[in-house]
Structure 1
Amino acid sequence: PLPPDPHATCLMIYTSGTTGRPKGAELTHGNLTANLDSLHQAWGWRADDVLLHVLPIFHVHGLIVALHGALNAGATAVLLPKFDAEQTLHMLQARRCTVFMGVPTIHRRLVNAPNAAGCDLRHMRLLTSGSDRLPDDLFVAFQETFGHTLLERYGMSETSMLISNPLHGERRIGSVGLPLPGVEVRIVHPETEAPLPDGEVGAVQVRGANVCKGYWRQPDKTAAAFTPDGWLRTGDMGLREPDGYFTLKGRSKDLIISGGYNVYPPEVELVLAAHPAVAASAVIGCADAEWGERVTAVIVVREGTAVTAAEIIAHCRRHLVDYKVPRRVRFVDDFPRNALGKIQKAELRQALCGRE
Structure 2
Amino acid sequence: MSKNANLFSLIEANFPTDLSAPCLKMPQGTGFINEYSWDDLQKASAKIANLLTSLELPKGSRIAVQVEKSPEALILYLATLRAGFIFIPLNTAYQTAEMRYFIQDAQPAVVVCSPKNFGWLAQLAFQLGCSHVFTLDDKLPNQGSLLQRAAPLSSQFQTVQCEPDQIASIIYTSGTTGLSKGAMLSHQNLSANALTLQKTWHWQASDVLLHSLPLFHVHGLFISSNVALISGSTMIFLPKFDAAQVLKFLPESTVFMGVPTYYVRLLEQAGLTEQLCSTVRVFISGSAPLLAETFNAFQQRTAKTILERYGMSETNIISSNPYDGERLSNTVGQALPDVRIRIVNNEGQTCAEDEVGDIQVKGPNVFKGYWNRPEKTTQEFTKDGFFKTGDLGKLDKNAYLSIIGRSKDLIISGGYNIYPKEIELVLDALPGVVESAVIGLPHADFGEAVCAVLVCNMTLDSAQIIATLKNQIANFKVPKKIFMVKELPRNNMGKVQKNVLRDQYKESFSLLTS
TM-score (normalised: structure 1): 0.74
Retained in 2: the 8 A contact 1:183–1:207? Answer: yes
Distance 1:23-1:283 versus aligned 2 partners, 3 A rule:
closer
Match of 2:332 in 1: 176
Matches for 1:1-356 after TM superposition, within 5 Å:
1=158, 3-17=161-175, 19-93=177-251, 96-117=252-273, 120-189=276-345, 191-254=346-409, 287-288=489-490, 294=500, 295-296=503-504, 297-302=506-511
Distance 1:115-1:178 versus aligned 2 partners, 3 A rule:
same
| Per-residue deviation, 1:20 | 2.2
| Per-residue deviation, 1:31 | 0.6
Q: What is the rounded CA distance, in whole Å, between the counterparts of 1:279 and 1:24 in structure 2?
A: 25
Letter in 2 for 1:98: T
Q: What is the rounded CA distance, in whole Å, between the counterparts of 2:209 and 2:176 in structure 1?
A: 30
Distance 1:11-1:165 versus aligned 2 partners, 3 A rule:
same
Q: What is the rounded CA distance, in whole Å, between the counterparts of 2:447 and 2:212 in structure 1?
A: 22
1:74-133, Cα deviation, whole Å (9 max, x unpaired) = 10111111111011111112xx10000001101000011132247511111111000000
Q: What is the rounded CA distance, in whole Å, between the counterparts of 2:324 and 2:388 in structure 1?
A: 30
| Per-residue deviation, 1:19 | 4.6
Match of 1:347 in 2: none
After TM superposition, which residue ranges in structure 1, 4 or more long, deviate above 6 angstroms?
278-286
Letter in 1 for 2:335: P
Retained in 1: the 8 A contact 2:176–2:408? Answer: no
Match of 2:436 in 1: none
Q: Secondary structure at the match of 1:300?
A: coil
Q: What is the rounded CA distance, in whole Å, between the counterparts of 1:147 and 1:137 in structure 2?
A: 15
RMSD: 2.8
| Per-residue deviation, 1:4 | 2.1
| Per-residue deviation, 1:288 | 4.5
Retained in 1: the 8 A contact 2:274–2:302? Answer: no
| Per-residue deviation, 1:145 | 1.4
Q: What is the rounded CA distance, in whole Å, between the counterparts of 1:203 and 1:171 in structure 2?
A: 23
Structure 1 runs not aligned, ≥5 long: 256-264, 305-333, 335-356
Q: What is the rounded CA distance, in whole Å, between the counterparts of 1:251 and 1:199 in structure 2?
A: 17
Q: What is the rounded CA distance, in whole Å, between the counterparts of 1:112 and 1:217 in structure 2?
A: 45
Q: What is the rounded CA distance, in whole Å, between the counterparts of 2:374 and 2:320 in structure 1?
A: 31
1:113-162, Cα deviation, whole Å (9 max, x unpaired) = 13224751111111100000000000001111112100000000001000
Retained in 1: the 8 A contact 2:172–2:181? Answer: yes
| Per-residue deviation, 1:250 | 1.2
Retained in 1: the 8 A contact 2:354–2:395? Answer: yes
Match of 1:349 in 2: none
Q: What is the rounded CA distance, in whole Å, between the counterparts of 2:162 and 2:173 in structure 1?
A: 25
Retained in 1: the 8 A contact 2:274–2:301? Answer: no
Q: What is the rounded CA distance, in whole Å, between the counterparts of 1:4 and 1:47 in structure 2?
A: 26
Distance 1:303-1:132 versus aligned 2 partners, 3 A rule:
closer
| Per-residue deviation, 1:17 | 4.3
1:281-319, Cα deviation, whole Å (9 max, x unpaired) = 669997356996522215224457xxxxxxxxxxxxxxx
Q: What is the rounded CA distance, in whole Å, between the counterparts of 1:168 and 1:80 in structure 2?
A: 29
Distance 1:250-1:303 versus aligned 2 partners, 3 A rule:
closer
Letter in 2 for 1:140: N
Q: What is the rounded CA distance, in whole Å, between the counterparts of 1:118 and 1:201 in structure 2?
A: 37
Letter in 2 for 1:244: A
Q: What is the rounded CA distance, in whole Å, between the counterparts of 1:283 and 1:207 in structure 2?
A: 31
| Per-residue deviation, 1:181 | 1.2
Alignment size in residue pairs = 286
Distance 1:88-1:196 versus aligned 2 partners, 3 A rule:
same
1:196-239, Cα deviation, whole Å (9 max, x unpaired) = 11110000000001100001111121111101110000000000
Q: Secondary structure at the match of 2:219?
A: helix
Q: What is the rounded CA distance, in whole Å, between the counterparts of 2:189 and 2:400 in structure 1?
A: 24
Looking at CA atoms only, which structure, 1 or 2, has the larger radius of gyration? Answer: 2
Q: What is the rounded CA distance, in whole Å, between the counterparts of 1:281 and 1:234 in structure 2?
A: 19
TM-score (normalised: structure 2): 0.52
Retained in 2: the 8 A contact 1:65–1:160? Answer: yes
Q: What is the rounded CA distance, in whole Å, between the counterparts of 1:23 and 1:250 in structure 2?
A: 21
Structure 2 runs not aligned, ≥5 long: 1-157, 411-438, 454-487
